[in-house]
Amino acid sequence: MNKRAEQIRHIEQWRASGLSQSEYSRRHGLKMATFNYWVRHMDAKREYPLSQSCASLLPVHVEEPAQPAVPEAHALVLRTTHGYRLELAASVSPRWLAELLQCLG
């Protein structure tokens, strides 16, 4: 297998694994900086096919509520620079919130 094909294979396996780049690199004996370079370089050039195991975006229809929702006491409100707002109950799981923020980041 040539070098480029090996890099593409690693990137596709990493994307399907759900691991961080750091953890994937450690498990496969790769230098983190080198693996990160491969990902950035190939993302910029789009040199590899996106595997079906990659996350994909789905269309979402958002409607304004008939009446403004009254925020729950101590609710968590996330606001983006683009004006989007997401209100979460104060009882939301910290672990779930951490996963959400990681996905959004």
- Per residue in 52-100, pLDDT (tens digit) is 445 566 677 777 766 666 655 667 887 777 777 888 887 888 888 888 8
Q: How far is residue 67 CA from its own chain's centroid?
A: 33
- Per residue in 38-59, pLDDT (tens digit) is 888 877 666 555 444 455 666 7
For Cα atoms 34, 38, 43, give the angle at the middle one, nearest 5 degrees.
150
The β-bridge partners of 79 are 85
The H-assigned helical ranges of the chain are 3-17, 21-27, 32-45, 94-104
So what's the pLDDT on residue 52?
44
Q: Specify the pairing of strand 85-88 against strand 76-79.
A: antiparallel
Structure tokens at 80: 């983006």
pLDDT, average across residues 3-25: 88
The shares of helix, strand and coil residues in the chain, as percent rounded to the nearest 5, are 45, 10, 50
pTM of the full predicted structure?
A: 0.43
